[in-house]
A and B are shown apart, each in its own frame.
Chain A
Amino acid sequence: MTTAVAGERAAMRSAAVDYARKPRGRRITMHVFLIIMAVLWLFPIGYALLSSLRPYAYTQQHGYFSLGGWTLQNYINAWQQAAFTQHFINTLYITVPAVLLTLFLSSCMGFVLARFSFALNITLLGVFLAANLLPQQALLIPLFRMFRAIQVPTWINDSGTLLNSFWALILVNTAFQTGFCTFVLSNYMKTLPKELYESAQVDGASVWRQYWQLTLPLCRPPLAALATLLVTWIYNEFFWATVLLQSGDKFPITSSLNNLRGQFFTDNNLVAAGSIVVALPPMIVFFVLQKQFVSGLTLGATKG
């Protein structure tokens, strides 16, 4: 998870000195503490994995701490009972357009804010950034009514309104994420050397070309970091999907988890398998793109 930071090497050097000076006893105490904490932290996921691999009948008979009875049947049952194929496709329908739209709109906005100065620069940035922090529930009532009132052709949504459509979710997710992404991208774009743009202007490049052909390729690092974060966030989004989609078959994966709960009886091994299936994509994203993920979260204001 180490990321390149200016002055990091110096920090590491002094940290190494710290470390060497530390008495041995305290070092061991620290490691013991960290190991216990790490085991505690990994336990819920590990336990879910363990339960998911054994049948309900087996764990009932031998207890959850037993080993044996290994099977993948829970995964097959969970997948079918919760209709995971359908819900993963729904998640895809929402996440892919929302991420692309968010990155496009926020890079446009960030570009204008970074390259041009006008009276409302800071105000606009505030408007965008604050939008990210408002409690979503507080906006629910008007949004719900608005979406219900907006007529759309049936090829967009068969009920004829925006409510209960994927577009409603794509738009809401985009609107909520654009603020933070704009902030990050505009800060990054401000660090690009001015001379680049001066020579582009001499060559007569239009504003659009300066954005599309010059700025965007240089913004690959923050775009990659933000894309990683956005995929995870929108995949994990629960509230809007739950309230704006009324028919359960349109739910994305995160909102569809309740399908695994039986009306009167819940098979915990099935719940475990379902949890693991749903947890897997963001965990894979995290392990493969750890650097992007972490830098995205801590990215922002760049103070030299």
Chain B
Amino acid sequence: MAVTPVMTDTDTLEEPARGGRSRRSGRGLSKLSRGDRVTVWLMLGVPTALVLWLVWVPGLLSVVLSFARWEGIGGLNTIQWVGLDNYQNVFTNYPPFHPALEHNLIWLLVLFFVATPLGVFLAVLLDREIKGGRFYQSAFFLPVVLSLALVGFMWQLIYSQDQGLINQVTGGNTDWYGDPNVNLWAVLVATCWRQTGYVMLLYLAGLKAVDPSLREAAKVDGATESQTFFRVTLPVMRPINVIVLVITFIEALRAFDIVWVVNKGRNGLELISTLVTSNIVGEASRIGFGSALATIMLVISSVFVVIYLRVAIKDEER
């Protein structure tokens, strides 16, 4: 699930009878017959149980296990509770952790300062009616439908040491995916290739929803195009700005596929997500320790999840 879904202010599908919408459309459960009540509880209970079982319970268990030492071999009674030992080990006694944190941060900064502004810029250009607009949109959006795993694989044709395009053209001998000095940047170029189109699409939808009379008014008042964009258009698109921001953070935090495809997140490509995975599926499964890493991820992500929910659900509470 490399693409984070999104909700915007726009509904791009035709809606049946907008006018028939009411603020609190629901009704209470008490008026239902017994059979209907059972139906409602099943329709509600089964999906909820599935989500709680496979998402929320594992999330909580990760937190609980982060305070434990468990080799994972014997039964649950072999678990020893060790307090914050795992966290202490992560921060002080685990060399890959700091590079991983740094790489996640670089990932975030590159998405934030390269892919996102470029996507916004392309959206602004393509928002007007121009010749070939549809072609450009499709071209920029095409990489988004590919998985990041496949993207990493495809870019090997460009990056590989002996047959890769870059080295063939420049006559160089850099192992773009292997050299720890450059491989993070190589992977990030490929990641931006995919992320930019995604941001572009979200902003295009957002821009379409902006009341055109606002821009007209700014123009009449003598604002230049960039003034109009930064002072009028961008501020009214606040919900979508927040959502794109949250997506950027979340994608940077859970980046995994492309790095795992390249070298399983070693040698310059460590990320928190790959450390968690290596600690559990590798030869030595260190459950408590891996859970401490997982909990750190959960804590960071929860900040953005809360921001996201507030924007998405505010709409509900109106």
Interface residues of A (CB under 8 A from B): 1-8, 10-16, 18-19, 30-31, 33-34, 37-38, 41-42, 44-45, 47-48, 51, 59-60, 63-65, 105-106, 108-109, 111-118, 121-122, 124-146, 171-172, 174-180, 182-184, 187-188, 190-195, 206-208, 211, 218, 221-222, 225, 229, 232-233, 235-239, 242-243, 254-255, 257-258, 266, 268, 271-272, 274-275, 278-279, 282-283, 285-287, 290, 293-295, 297-304
Residues of B near A130 (CB, < 8 A) are 305, 308-309
From A19, A143, A242, B54 is in contact (CB under 8 Å) with A143
With an 8 A cutoff between CB atoms, is B284 at the interface?
no
Chain A's closest residue to B311 (CB) is A301
Interface residues of B (CB under 8 A from A): 1-22, 24-29, 32-33, 35-36, 39-40, 42-44, 46-48, 50-59, 61-62, 65, 72, 122, 125-132, 134-143, 145-150, 153-158, 160, 163-165, 168, 193, 197, 201-202, 204-205, 208-213, 215-216, 239, 246, 250, 253-254, 256-257, 260-261, 272-274, 276-277, 280-281, 287, 290-291, 294-295, 297-298, 301, 304-305, 308-309, 312-313, 315-317
Do A16 and B62 touch (CB < 8 A)?
no
Do B25 and A140 touch (CB < 8 A)?
no
Residues of B near A19 (CB, < 8 A) are 128-130
Do A171 and B54 touch (CB < 8 A)?
yes
Given that A140-B280, A184-B7 are known contacts, is A195 also in contact with B20, CB under 8 Å in the complex? Answer: yes
Residues of A near B36 (CB, < 8 A) are 206-208
Do B129 and A15 touch (CB < 8 A)?
yes
Max chain A CB contacts within 10 Å: which of B1, B4, B7, B290? B1
Given that A16-B129, A19-B130 are known contacts, is A193 also in contact with B304, CB under 8 Å in the complex? Answer: no
Do B47 and A255 touch (CB < 8 A)?
no
Chain B's closest residue to A17 (CB) is B216
Given that A1-B138, A141-B280, A258-B261 are known contacts, is A192 also in contact with B20, CB under 8 Å in the complex? Answer: yes
A90 to chain B, nearest CB (A): 15
Do B12 and A206 touch (CB < 8 A)?
no
B46 to chain A, nearest CB (A): 6
| Known A112-B44, A129-B308, A238-B256; further 4 A-B contacts with Cβ < 8 A | A41-B140, A124-B48, A191-B18, A236-B1
From B130, B139, B142, B168, A30 is in contact (CB under 8 Å) with B130
Do B150 and A236 touch (CB < 8 A)?
yes
Do A109 and B154 touch (CB < 8 A)?
no
Do B27 and A117 touch (CB < 8 A)?
yes
Do A105 and B7 touch (CB < 8 A)?
no
Do B125 and A114 touch (CB < 8 A)?
no
Max chain B CB contacts within 10 Å: which of A63, A138, A221, A293? A138
Max chain B CB contacts within 10 Å: which of A113, A128, A132, A266? A132
B31 to chain A, nearest CB (A): 9
Chain A's closest residue to B228 (CB) is A18
Tell me what chain B mostly uses at the interface: helix, strand, loop, or mixed. helix
Do B154 and A143 touch (CB < 8 A)?
no
Residues of B near A184 (CB, < 8 A) are 7
Residues of B near A126 (CB, < 8 A) are 309, 313
From B125, B197, B211, A34 is in contact (CB under 8 Å) with B125
From B127, B160, B261, A15 is in contact (CB under 8 Å) with B127
Interchain CA distance A285-B146 in the complex, whole Å: 11
**5 A-B residue contacts at CB 8 Å?**
A117-B27, A141-B62, A238-B256, A299-B11, A300-B11
Residues of A near B140 (CB, < 8 A) are 37-38, 41
Do A7 and B298 touch (CB < 8 A)?
no
A95 to chain B, nearest CB (A): 13
Do B193 and A193 touch (CB < 8 A)?
no
Do A171 and B139 touch (CB < 8 A)?
no
Do B29 and A118 touch (CB < 8 A)?
yes
Chain B's closest residue to A13 (CB) is B212
Interchain CA distance A246-B299 in the complex, whole Å: 29
Residues of A near B20 (CB, < 8 A) are 191-195
Max chain A CB contacts within 10 Å: which of B51, B204, B272? B51
Do A254 and B147 touch (CB < 8 A)?
yes
Residues of A near B3 (CB, < 8 A) are 233, 297
Given that A34-B136, A142-B65, A194-B20 are known contacts, is A112 also in contact with B257, CB under 8 Å in the complex? Answer: no
B277 to chain A, nearest CB (A): 6
Interchain CA distance A3-B254 in the complex, whole Å: 31
Do A190 and B25 touch (CB < 8 A)?
yes
B254 to chain A, nearest CB (A): 4
Do A125 and B62 touch (CB < 8 A)?
no
Do B128 and A15 touch (CB < 8 A)?
yes
